[in-house]
Amino acid sequence: MKILANDGISALGKQLLEAAGYTVITDKVAQEDLAKAVNEQGIEIVLVRSATTVRKEVIDACPGLKLVGRGGVGMDNIDVAYAREKGVTVINTPASSSQSVAELVMGQLFSLSRFLQDSFKNMENGDFSTLKKNYAKGVELRGKTLGIIGFGRIGQSLASYALGVGMDVIAIDQTSYEIDIPVKVANQVVSVKVKTQTDLNSVLGQLDYISIHVPKQADGRSVITSEEFEKMKKGVRIANAARGGVINETDLIEALNSGIVAACALDVFENEPNPRKDLLSHPKIACTPHIGAATVEAQDRIGEELAQLIIGQFGRK
């Protein structure tokens, strides 16, 4: 069987698949040529990350397609229900990137707290004494309250890190439940109980930091808009490593300029791969190019899990 890993696959994942008798193609195919390439090359499995989409029109145009795999958590770039209705298996790797995304967010929280994103830009050409004064009002994470909107695997992994540095965690999810969060300290694991809240508006005013971990909403609405910003504590810091659009970007700019939001970190954008220029250039925004799962370790886990799922589904060739 031929596999097109159109957004790439780790060397380990490719090695495992090839050892099982699969042909793995990693040459990037443009989105508009995807269906043509699948049909002409006899590809039966397409693997994607976030860049390539597999929509109804591709599924309809590729009768030989047997499986679509998403390396990562969210599958909003695949018409999952329609694919399954047409007999196409759809898989993903929800647990493989949780730690990597959580570590990126922790890095973002530290960066926002000490103005690192702006000081990196200005140190080379700025006046040292002036910059020292400009960045003299950093804050510490310890003792601050972090609101985690969406408490799935990534949110829980982030909670473990945040609790480990002494933050208080308020988890917000669709349903109320209590869960034990393991916090590793040296060679010991301490279990901390966290109970989720279901009313976001009731806790927004308590939060010093907010991190968002929800999928793109089916109706296209944003989770955070001007209405939510108005309820936040003045000076809140926000990170979004989930999906572009869950924060209304225009409302975010206004909240930053008004001082409601002290700083924001964005790893995802509405208009990827061409984000708004006013987001990229804003001194209070730390931007990264959708790299939440882009660690060597996470990509190895993703590749290995995809390979195991495919071999489990179709066997060795």
3-class SS of residue 170: strand
Q: Which fold has domain 98-287?
A: Rossmann fold (3.40.50)
* Catalytic option among 270, 290, 301, 305: 290
Report d(CA 117, CA 125) in Å as an integer. 15
Task: Check if 2-96+296-314 and 98-287 are the same fold.
Answer: yes
Q: For this structure, is 290 an active site residue?
A: yes
- Are residues 54 and 46 in contact, defined by beta-carbon separation less than 8 angstroms? yes
Angle at which helix 153-164 crosses helix 98-113, to 10 degrees, equals: 50
- Written as tens digits, the pLDDT of the chain (317 aa) is 999 999 999 999 999 999 999 999 999 999 999 999 999 999 999 999 989 999 999 999 999 999 999 998 889 899 999 999 999 999 999 889 999 999 999 999 999 999 999 999 999 999 999 999 999 999 999 999 999 999 999 999 999 999 999 999 999 999 999 999 999 988 899 999 999 999 999 999 999 999 999 988 878 899 999 999 999 999 999 999 999 999 999 999 999 999 999 999 999 999 999 999 999 999 999 999 999 999 999 999 999 999 999 999 999 98
- Are residues 231 and 207 in contact, defined by beta-carbon separation less than 8 angstroms? no
Q: Which fold has domain 2-96+296-314?
A: Rossmann fold (3.40.50)
State the number of CA atoms in the 13 A half-sphere of 99 facing the CB: 11
Q: Which amino acid is at 232?
A: M
Predicted confidence at residue 11, as pLDDT, reads 96
pTM for this model (two decimals): 0.90
Domains of the chain: which residue ranges? 2-96+296-314, 98-287
* Catalytic option among 237, 243, 282, 301: 243
State the number of CA atoms in the 13 A half-sphere of 107 facing the CB: 15
Of 4, 42, 17, which is closest to residue 303 (Cα–Cα)? 17
Structure-token pair, residue 116: 């690192």
- Are residues 268 and 244 in contact, defined by beta-carbon separation less than 8 angstroms? yes
CA distances from 214 to 136, 170, 211, 218, 224 (A): 34, 15, 10, 11, 11
* Rg of the chain on CA atoms, in Å: 21
Burial (0-12, 13-18, 19+ Cβ within 10 Å), 119: middle
Q: For this structure, is 272 an active site residue?
A: yes
Burial (0-12, 13-18, 19+ Cβ within 10 Å), 185: exposed
